[in-house]
Amino acid sequence: MTSSDQTPHPGRPAARRLILVSGQEGAGKTTIVRALLPHTPNGARIDAEDLGQVNPCLFDDAFWQLLRANVAALVRNYWGAGFENVIAGSFFRTRDDFLRFRELVPEADEVFMVQLLVQPEERQHRRLTRAKRTTQEWRDSVDQFDTVDTTLAADQDGYRYLAVDGTGMTPEQTVAVIVREFPEIYGARLSTI
pLDDT digits (tens, 9 = 90+) for 151-174: 788 877 789 999 999 888 999 999
Q: How many CB atoms lie within 10 A of CB 165?
A: 14
Is the pLDDT higher at 4 or at 116? 116
* DSSP class per residue in 34-60: HHHGGGSTTEEEEEHHHHT--SS---S
pLDDT digits (tens, 9 = 90+) for 131-148: 666 655 655 555 555 566
Residue 1 binned pLDDT confidence (cut-offs 50, 70, 90): very low
Q: Measured between alpha carbons, how far is 75 from 111 in angstroms, rounded to an integer?
A: 12
pLDDT of residue 92: 82
Residue 101 binned pLDDT confidence (cut-offs 50, 70, 90): very high
pLDDT of residue 91: 86
Which domains can be identified in the chain, with CATH numbers? 14-187 (3.40.50.300)
pLDDT digits (tens, 9 = 90+) for 77-95: 999 999 999 999 988 878 8
pLDDT digits (tens, 9 = 90+) for 15-54: 999 999 998 877 889 999 999 999 999 999 999 988 888 8
